[in-house]
A and B are shown apart, each in its own frame.
Chain A
Amino acid sequence: MLNESPVDSLSLQPESVDDAARRAAVVPRLLFQPAARATRAAESVATVCLAAQRLSAFFGDIAAVRDVDLSMETCRVTAIIGPSGCGKSTLLRSFNRMHETVSGARVTGSVLLDGIPIYGDGTSAIAVRRHIGMVFQRPTPFPTMSIRDNVAAGLRVREGKMPSRRDTDDIVEDALQRAGLWAEVKDRLRTSAVAISGGQQQRLCIARALATKPRVLLLDEPTASLDPASTQKVEELVYDLRSTMTIVMVTHNMQQAARVSDRTAFMLNGSLIEVAPTNALFTTPQDARTEAYITGRFG
């Protein structure tokens, strides 16, 4: 039965009580229940989707991120900027518990997804990552899989039954459409995912992250290895995607942050210096260090 697929239970549609009960039955191991999604109509009352509270991240004894408090609003793009080595990527990787995959790495403080602590007792990192998608600096298509199978890769590891072939095809098409890649690859879905260009590969990775319908999408310098034309496509994509999901993007490109984000956070030496609406941060920074960075005096 089509309706029983777990992917469907995480869909963006408003859900009935039955849906919620069924989801609770289908996904018993999921310890947090995503709240109903805010619509564009509710924009004026921005709700917090993801929040870091006194978050510190360590590599061994060295703190890469110190005492960060940061709230990321639902259906907004939050950009994190700062010089190399300031801890912005580490902060991002703490949001989907990827930080702890490095040996000796640990996190203190908490991160809340819709009010539920992702580092809480009994919450598994696997379940967290299924709700918070991530795209990396370099495109990472799985070379042994076709374009279609790459997009469907995340569906295979969800709880419950794998969606049927036809449902998978629909999900793949939808994800590729949303990633703006469908028209370019629809005639070669079964061919190698590494035979397409770097920019297309990166959008494929975004499609792969979108296919599982995550609540949040984390982008770690997603255009750092792309040419200007591909960069523009990814930026437009990010701009469009925020109508349906919360996006957090790390970038070392200040123009990019200014172009696509609603709010910008500036980090330096592991600490969050300032966070403000993007316009305000770039025009009237409150902190002298922020001003020094955005005017190009260091970093």
Chain B
Amino acid sequence: MVSLTYIAAALATLPLIFILVHLVRAGAASINPAFFMQMPKPVGESGGGMANAIVGTLILISIAATVGLPIGIGAGLYLAEHKGKRLANTVRFLSDVLNGLPSIVMGIFAWQFLVRPAGHFSALAGGIALGVMMIPLVTRTTEEMIRIVPNSLREAALALGYQRWRTSLSIILRTALPGIVTGALVAVARVAGETAPLLFTAFGNQFWSAAIQRPIAALPLQIFTYAISPYDAWHSQAWAGALVLIGIVLVISIAARLATRSRFGSAVD
């Protein structure tokens, strides 16, 4: 019986290992400075890169984080501080429903309310669609991380003469911060690879653009376009793009971990 769980554990990690190995084998050959510096080349010309898509994805993630993190963390703080209240329960339920919403539906929603009134596709619409997708993820992890902060810390701060808001911010939120950051990163990583909500919001762009009110290229869209093309050169570019996308998520994770690392090492966690 125990051996079965070992096998299950091995099978659980196998897909990731398989994907990583294959990505490196298929994509590493196309990764070179030009891939990061250059624009896509027309069919038939060799070389070229995805500079516009890499920058586009970074811009989209930034917009998404700007929208999703404050709202998600604020809502999580509210849910944790008002647990048991009817409104809190309703908010939590709706947040879970939002979490289960198919991403393509989020894209249609963003198209209807952001793209159509504006009359054109834009990075802003794509970023907001991704940001809305982040909200329920961030809300839930924030609430859970705050809830595991012992109530005795809240009482200790209040007994010292801390105001309620100050207790929430500088004691409770601060104590829960490493967990919240981890949750936020999971959310960023999750939306960084989303393709469906971008199809009719950010739309993609074959040319260089960093303007948020214009259509913008994104790695997932570029990977999609190249992967379904009939050209071998584009296929290997798509693999390289996938590798870079994973690399971006990894770098963001490591950077934020370092930034929020406890001053005291493993003694505090």
User: A129 with B161: in contact, given A136-B155, A142-B156, A144-B175 (CB under 8 Å)?
Assistant: yes
Indicate which residue in A133, A142, A194, A209 contacts B171 across the interface (CB closer than 8 Å): A142
Residues on B with C-beta less than 8 A from A295 are none
Asked whether B153 is an interface residue with its Cβ less than 8 Å from the other chain, the reply is: yes
Residues on A with C-beta less than 8 A from B268 are 143-144, 192, 194
- Interface range for A: 20 to 34
Residues on B with C-beta less than 8 A from A134 are 159
> Is there contact, CB below 8 Å, between B155 and A101?
yes
Residues on A with C-beta less than 8 A from B262 are 144, 192
Q: Using CB atoms, name the residue of chain A closest to B158.
A: A101
Asked whether A205 is an interface residue with its Cβ less than 8 Å from the other chain, the reply is: yes
| Chain B residues numbered 160-213 whose CB sits less than 8 Å from any CB in chain A | 160-163, 166, 171, 174-175, 177
Smallest distance from the beta carbon of A204 to chain B beta carbons, Å?
Answer: 11
Asked whether A27 is an interface residue with its Cβ less than 8 Å from the other chain, the reply is: no
> Is there contact, CB below 8 Å, between B156 and A157?
no
Asked whether A191 is an interface residue with its Cβ less than 8 Å from the other chain, the reply is: yes
Residues on B with C-beta less than 8 A from A129 are 158-161
Interface string of B217-232 (1 = CB under 8 A from A): 0000000000000000
Residues of chain B at interface, number, CB under 8 A: 22
User: A195 with B267: in contact, given A140-B156, A142-B171 (CB under 8 Å)?
Assistant: yes
**Residue among B160, B171, B262, B264 facing the most chain A CB atoms (10 A cut-off):** B160
User: A157 with B175: in contact, given A140-B155, A192-B264 (CB under 8 Å)?
Assistant: no
Asked whether A289 is an interface residue with its Cβ less than 8 Å from the other chain, the reply is: no
> Is there contact, CB below 8 Å, between A144 and B159?
no
Interface string of A146-180 (1 = CB under 8 A from B): 10000001100110000000000000000000000
* Cα A192 to Cα B157 with chains together (Å): 17
* Cα A96 to Cα B155 with chains together (Å): 12
Indicate which residue in B150, B152, B163 contacts A157 across the interface (CB closer than 8 Å): B163
Asked whether B263 is an interface residue with its Cβ less than 8 Å from the other chain, the reply is: yes
Interface string of A89-113 (1 = CB under 8 A from B): 0000000101001000000000000
* Cα A194 to Cα B161 with chains together (Å): 22
> Is there contact, CB below 8 Å, between A191 and B159?
no
Smallest distance from the beta carbon of B178 to chain A beta carbons, Å?
Answer: 9
Residues on B with C-beta less than 8 A from A142 are 153, 156-157, 171, 175
Indicate which residue in B152, B161, B171 contacts A138 across the interface (CB closer than 8 Å): B152
> Is there contact, CB below 8 Å, between B175 and A143?
yes
Residues on A with C-beta less than 8 A from B156 are 136, 140, 142, 205
Q: Using CB atoms, name the residue of chain A closest to B150.
A: A140
* Cα A143 to Cα B153 with chains together (Å): 9
Residues on B with C-beta less than 8 A from A194 are 267-268
User: A157 with B161: in contact, given A140-B156, A144-B174 (CB under 8 Å)?
Assistant: yes
| Chain A residues numbered 177-192 whose CB sits less than 8 Å from any CB in chain B | 191-192
> Is there contact, CB below 8 Å, between B155 and A209?
no
* Cα A136 to Cα B175 with chains together (Å): 19
Asked whether A76 is an interface residue with its Cβ less than 8 Å from the other chain, the reply is: no
Asked whether A130 is an interface residue with its Cβ less than 8 Å from the other chain, the reply is: yes
Smallest distance from the beta carbon of B229 to chain A beta carbons, Å?
Answer: 51
> Is there contact, CB below 8 Å, between B159 and A126?
no
User: A209 with B160: in contact, given A142-B175, A144-B175 (CB under 8 Å)?
Assistant: yes
Smallest distance from the beta carbon of B265 to chain A beta carbons, Å?
Answer: 8
* Cα A157 to Cα B264 with chains together (Å): 24
* Cα A44 to Cα B171 with chains together (Å): 43
Smallest distance from the beta carbon of B168 to chain A beta carbons, Å?
Answer: 13
* Cα A101 to Cα B155 with chains together (Å): 8
> Is there contact, CB below 8 Å, between B159 and A133?
yes
Residues on A with C-beta less than 8 A from B159 are 96, 98, 129, 133-134, 136, 209
Q: Which 10 pairs of residues, A with B, have the shortest CB-CB distance?
A: A192-B264, A130-B161, A140-B156, A134-B159, A154-B160, A129-B161, A192-B267, A195-B267, A140-B152, A143-B268
18 inter-chain pairs at a CB distance below 8 angstroms, sorted by A residue, are: A126-B161, A126-B162, A126-B163, A133-B159, A133-B160, A134-B159, A136-B159, A142-B156, A143-B175, A146-B263, A146-B264, A154-B161, A157-B162, A191-B264, A191-B267, A192-B262, A192-B263, A194-B267
Known: A130-B161, A140-B155, A192-B263. 5 other contacts (CB 8 A): A129-B161, A142-B153, A142-B156, A158-B161, A192-B264
